[in-house]
Amino acid sequence: MITPLATVARSLVFVCLALALCAALMQGLGYNALLVLTSVAEGAFLRSGAFENSLRWGVPLFLTATGVSIAFRAGFFNIGAQGQFYLGAIFAATAAQGLNGGPAFLVIPAILCAGMMGGALWALWPALMKLGSGTDEVITTLMGNFIAGLLLVWVTSGPLKDPAGSGQQASSPVLPPAYRISDSSGVSPMTLGLALVVGVAIWLLVNRTAFGVLSGLAGRNGTMVRWQGASSWRIGLSSFLLSGALAGLAGAVEFAGPTGRIASGFLPGHGFTATLVALVANFSILGMAAAALFFGGLAAAALYLPIMAGLPAAAIEVINASIALVITARARVLDRLTGRKETSS
Amino acid sequence: MTSNAPALECRDVTVRYGDVTALSGVTAAFAQGLIHAVVGQNGAGKTTFARVAAGLVQPAEGEVAIHGQPIRTGQVAAARAAGVELVHQSFALPPSFTVSEAMEFGASGKGSLFSRRGLRRRWRQHLSDLQVIADPAQRIRDLPVESQQGVEIARALITQARVLILDEPTAVLTPLGIETLFARVRRLKASGVTVILILHKIREVLAIADTLSVLRAGCLVDGPRPAAAIDEAELTRLIVGAAGPAPGIQAARPEAGPASAASFSTQTPALELHALHTGADSEGPGLEGVDLRIAPGEILGIAGVEGNGQKALVRAIAGLATVQGGRILLGGQDVGRRPLGARRAAGLRIIPFERNTEGLSLSSSLWENWSAGGLLQRSLLSPVRPDRLRRDCKSALDEWNVRYHSPAQPAGSLSGGNAQKVILAREIDPGARLIIAAQPTRGLDIGATSFVWQALRAARDRGAAVLVISSDLDELFDISDRVAVMLSGRISGRFSPPYSLNAVGAAMTGAATQGEAL
């Protein structure tokens, strides 16, 4: 059995390995690697206001990552978080427009619920295809991201178009401040409280309900659970829908929080980064909170990089990708090691 | 090539897989140009023998000679070069390939370029020479089983094979398909090919073979000898061997037995199957009209050579197979359209064939494995207390004498016998009304084996019905209150004690003698 502490230590080692890899790459390209890393650290945590900025990016990442982890536990590789996030934002924006003028204590929960419904809907059809006819969910959820991206373009330049918009980037009108759950800083009691509530709820679900035990078993050996009388629909569909709903909630939070509107192509790498958060944390809730803060910090630092180290902001994506690379390689190595353990015993 | 040398000769071939000796000191010579049958029960070493001859398995000791020339054992290329080809029991052609692509792949030709049409032309001729009816442009997976087998044989004959080995070629075929196959085999014989058939159905053996050899528990007990000089009864005896239950199991037998069965027999049957039909699948034939009836407090044994529909039977009762016709009644309730969860709630318990995939999640903890069935009977959001589940699991495992460290250890860290006890602890609970035990002692040592039988007897004596599926007749005769035999998806015989080994063996192999009706 792997202790939680060892998991943390291992994740840290792999993140450091990835950072070293990036540093070597940047040094090789003629940048000062040390300056790059220190400016990342400053932009993420050290500079005044940097931590707040990391939280701003960390909250939606955390919400989406919990969703990814729920699907993963049940054995489904939902890489459609991006699309589910977009659909959540679209539904939230639609609800906000429809309910405009209502009392905030009703409209805000409605916006969040609409976001969850949108995300769940975008997970529903891959789930039906997977459970009904075995269509690989990796393909369908991945393709769904592109469709959702185009839907977002259409919605923001059509039905939800901001009439006063400049036309630079198609977007919806800005949400009235009364319905916002945070200002543009993205950090407010409401956003942080929401992350906390979701974190606790998901922890309880995973560790203290029949669903938690059974979805974990189904993820590791679906055949065994089927022979125990599980309907693959019950566990599979609920995992899939919850996974999408959480990504959709992140979309609603982003819409009603820091961004205040939806815009075509906003937060383009969000779903991918959230998947990384879940992988780095090995699906533990506390680990995902920490990893979300770390990757949120990287996103925050992206603004500082061009100023401090003369590096384009895209360098952050190189760091993300290196971590993904190392984590994937780790998964392979671990698979092989555990596989050997099973055959030798 | 020496003209009188045997086509295939084995000398003292011994094969071990770990601690298991699959073949021990097999010495046999198969003459050229004849049809030879190698027969035996499951686990007798037939497939291993075929694989040694084809170079797929490296024997620990012994030699193989083809047409008098010793070949390097354990090398497919060497066996191929000497003209030996093997057609596997489960077909080996890539399902997504077209026939012509698969043939070209099998020919392992030079790495030149091909056109599709060129390939088709080339192989159409080869197929029609062998009277295999298959369009070279069709995909393997779209072909009927008979044609797939024809293509497999045609593939094996590309390289001018002199010795063709077919491993259980009739297992997947209909009676008509078997006729076609036998006609093909006879044509091959006429063209000078030596054919070795691995078979277990006696009628088929006697219908086609020129000589036969019998393997039992890895040893060659007879042959090759002319098939004409042997009758069904003698061959059955040779295959099944002398009866005699294992002493450890005999000692564990309680005195109750049939008497206790009688006291429950007036009740509604725990299980009734009426004319049950399911479709065939990759794992064997489907059910073709199975009628069964088990009373509470009774153990019914299902005998039969593996792959005769036993898996379909278990899946159908579990609700995991597509039932095409017939009825399934659990305790008098028709459950034919109800899912396994509902059937389990009605008292169905299953010890499945595959302990490590269907029975347990090896990478999950013992307490999760143990509690899965119970948790599935609750709502998904019902709260659980892992510490309490761990405690309950611990007391259950202690009661069943499982050797383990902690309920949190993964199931994969247990030995086979202990893993099976975890499944018993989960499946044999007070709510069990019908227990399906599919090969419950496979791979277990004698201690664990007798533990399993005792547990099933105890469940029977408490009033549960037990359906035991085993290919070990000694075990079945010892535990069962009645025995039914499955052959090709049907019940080919029903027996009650005292069991006649010959009669059961005949029903298993499809020989003429039919079992006494119950």
Model confidence pLDDT, tens digit, residues B17-48: 776 778 888 999 999 989 999 988 766 788 88
Shortest CA distance from B368: residue in chain A: A213
A134 in the same domain as A113: yes
Cβ atoms of residues B65 and B79 within 8 Å: no
Cβ atoms of residues A94 and A114 within 8 Å: yes
> Mean pLDDT across chain B, nearest whole number?
84
CA atoms of A273 and A294, how far apart (whole Å): 11
Hey, are the CB atoms on A220 and B361 less than 8 Å from each other? yes
Per DSSP, helices labelled H in B381-518 are 386-399, 416-427, 446-461, 473-479, 501-509
A252 in the same domain as A329: no
One-letter amino acid for residue A45 of the chain: F
Strands B323-330 and B333-334, by their bridges, are antiparallel
Q: Which residue has the higher pLDDT, B501 or B173?
A: B501
Q: Which residue has the higher pLDDT, B43 or A223?
A: A223
User: How do residues B430-441 score in pLDDT, each as one tens digit?
Assistant: 889 999 999 998
Hey, are the CB atoms on A213 and B369 less than 8 Å from each other? no
Q: What is the average pLDDT across A228-241? A: 90
Q: What is the DSSP letter of A46?
A: I
Of the residues A264, A280, A296, which one is the last residue of a structural domain?
A: A280
> Quick check: A60 pLDDT over 70?
yes
Hey, are the CB atoms on A229 and B341 less than 8 Å from each other? yes
User: Within 10 A of A137 (CB to CB), how many other CB atoms are there?
Assistant: 24
Q: What is the average pLDDT across B78-90? A: 84
Which three-class secondary structure state does DSSP give residue A200?
A: helix
Interface test with B, best of A221, A337, A344 (most B CBs within 10 A): A221
Hey, are the CB atoms on A231 and B378 less than 8 Å from each other? no
- Examine residue A159 and say whether the peptide bond preceding it is cis (omega within 30 degrees of 0): no
A235 contacts chain B (CB < 8 A): yes
pLDDT band at B408 (very low <50, low <70, confident <90, very high): very high
> Quick check: B111 pLDDT over 70?
no
Q: What is the DSSP letter of B405?
A: S
Contact residues, chain B, for A226 at CB < 8 Å: 320, 340
Q: Which residue has the higher pLDDT, A229 or A7?
A: A229
Contact residues, chain B, for A234 at CB < 8 Å: 380
Considering chain B, what percentage of its residues have pLDDT values greater than 90?
Answer: 33
A126 in the same domain as A152: yes
Q: What is the average pLDDT across B168-173? A: 76
Residue range(s) in chain B whose domain bears CATH number 3.40.50.300: 8-240, 271-364+431-509
Cβ atoms of residues B163 and B66 within 8 Å: yes
User: How do residues B244-298 score in pLDDT, each as one tens digit?
Assistant: 333 333 333 344 444 444 444 567 899 999 999 998 776 678 899 999 999 999 9
- Spatial neighbors of A5 by CB under 8 A, at least 6 apart, are none
**Considering only A13-17, B339-343, B472-476, B509-513, which range has the smallest mean pLDDT?**
B509-513
CA proximity to A278, closest of A70, A139, A104: A70
Look at residue A296 and tell me if it is in a domain: no
Look at residue A148 and tell me if it is in a domain: yes
- Spatial neighbors of B480 by CB under 8 A, at least 6 apart, are B299, B300, B301, B468
Cα distances (Å, whole numbers) of residue B443 to A209, B129, B419, B420, B424: 36, 46, 11, 10, 15
> Quick check: B243 pLDDT over 50?
no
Work out the burial of residue B208: count CB atoms within 10 Å of its CB; fewer than 13 is exposed, 13-18 middle, 19 or more buried. Answer: buried
A160 in the same domain as A13: no
CA atoms of A268 and A282, how far apart (whole Å): 24
* Integer Rg of chain A from CA: 20
Look at residue A11 and tell me if it is in a domain: yes
pLDDT band at B513 (very low <50, low <70, confident <90, very high): very low
Look at residue A290 and tell me if it is in a domain: no
Sheet holding B20-30, edge to edge: B20-30, B8-17, B61-66, B69-71
Cβ atoms of residues B250 and B454 within 8 Å: no
A228 in the same domain as A112: yes
pLDDT band at B123 (very low <50, low <70, confident <90, very high): confident
Look at residue A193 and tell me if it is in a domain: yes
CA atoms of B127 and B118, how far apart (whole Å): 15
For B271-364+431-509, CATH gives: 3.40.50.300
Residue B254 pLDDT: 41
Domain that holds residue A146: 56-280
Considering chain A, what percentage of its residues have pLDDT values greater than 90?
Answer: 57
Phi, psi of B34 (to 5 degrees): -120, 170
> Mean pLDDT across chain A, nearest whole number?
88
A126 in the same domain as A160: yes
Residue A334 pLDDT: 56
Residue A13 pLDDT: 85
CA atoms of B397 and A177, how far apart (whole Å): 60
A142 in the same domain as A264: yes
How many residues does this entry show for chain A? Answer: 345
A233 contacts chain B (CB < 8 A): no
Contact residues, chain A, for B382 at CB < 8 Å: 209-210
Cα distances (Å, whole numbers) of residue B323 to B313, B319, B328, B338: 10, 8, 10, 12
Look at residue A297 and tell me if it is in a domain: no
Q: Which CATH superfamily hosts domain B8-240?
A: P-loop containing nucleotide triphosphate hydrolases (3.40.50.300)
Work out the burial of residue B277: count CB atoms within 10 Å of its CB; fewer than 13 is exposed, 13-18 middle, 19 or more buried. Answer: middle
Sheet holding B84-87, edge to edge: B84-87, B163-167, B194-199, B35-39, B211-216, B219-226
Shortest CA distance from B355: residue in chain A: A224
CA atoms of A39 and B480, how far apart (whole Å): 77
- Spatial neighbors of B421 by CB under 8 A, at least 6 apart, are B397, B400, B401, B402, B448, B451
User: Within 10 A of B494 (CB to CB), how many other CB atoms are there?
Assistant: 18
Contact residues, chain B, for A228 at CB < 8 Å: 340, 344, 372-373, 376
CA distance A133 to chain B (A): 15
Residue B367 pLDDT: 95
Look at residue A291 and tell me if it is in a domain: no
Cβ atoms of residues B58 and B105 within 8 Å: no
Buried b (16+ CB within 10 A) or exposed e, B110-127: eeeeeeeeebbebbbebb
A172 in the same domain as A29: no
Q: Which residue has the higher pLDDT, B414 or A156?
A: A156
A202 contacts chain B (CB < 8 A): no
A69 in the same domain as A41: no
Considering chain A, what percentage of its residues have pLDDT values greater than 70?
Answer: 93
A327 in the same domain as A206: no
Strands B482-487 and B299-303, by their bridges, are parallel
pLDDT band at A336 (very low <50, low <70, confident <90, very high): low
Torsion of CA A90, A189, A316, A292, to 10 degrees: -90
pLDDT band at A15 (very low <50, low <70, confident <90, very high): confident
CA proximity to A89, closest of A64, A66, A106: A64
A223 contacts chain B (CB < 8 A): yes
Residue A251 pLDDT: 97
* Encoded tokens for B267: 């009740």
Look at residue A316 and tell me if it is in a domain: yes
A38 in the same domain as A180: no
Counting Cα atoms < 13 Å in the Cβ hemisphere of A166 gives 2
pLDDT band at B172 (very low <50, low <70, confident <90, very high): low
How many residues does this entry show for chain B? Answer: 518
A10 in the same domain as A151: no
3-state secondary structure B19-70: CEEEEEEEEEEECCCCEEEEECCCCCCHHHHHHHHCCCCCCCEEEEEECCEE
Contact residues, chain A, for B339 at CB < 8 Å: 229, 231
Q: What is the average pLDDT across B63-79? A: 87
Task: Say yes or no: ipTM exceeds 0.90.
Answer: no
Residue A331 pLDDT: 62
Residue B109 pLDDT: 58
Residue B244 pLDDT: 39
Shortest CA distance from A238: residue in chain B: B380
CA distance B113 to chain A (A): 32
User: How do residues B346-403 score in pLDDT, each as one tens digit?
Assistant: 999 999 998 888 999 999 999 999 999 889 988 889 999 999 999 999 999 998 888 8
Q: Which of residues 304-333 of B touch A (CB under 8 A)?
A: 318, 320
A340 contacts chain B (CB < 8 A): no
Hey, are the CB atoms on A345 and B376 less than 8 Å from each other? no
CA proximity to B414, closest of B352, B493, B359: B359
Q: Which residue has the higher pLDDT, B483 or A315?
A: B483
* Encoded tokens for B374: 């119970």
Hey, are the CB atoms on B409 and A229 less than 8 Å from each other? no
Residue A199 pLDDT: 96
Q: Which of residues 49-108 of B touch A (CB under 8 A)?
A: none
Residue B501 pLDDT: 81
**Considering only A105-109, A177-181, B238-242, which range has the smallest mean pLDDT?**
B238-242
Number of domains in chain A: 2
Q: Number of helices (H) and strands (E), helices first, in chain B?
A: 18, 20
B416 contacts chain A (CB < 8 A): no
Q: What is the average pLDDT across A65-90? A: 95
Residue A2 pLDDT: 53
Which three-class secondary structure state does DSSP give residue B319?
A: coil
Contact residues, chain A, for B371 at CB < 8 Å: 213
Cβ atoms of residues B411 and B366 within 8 Å: yes
The minimal CB distance from A216 to the residues B359, B360, B364 is found for B364
B356 contacts chain A (CB < 8 A): no
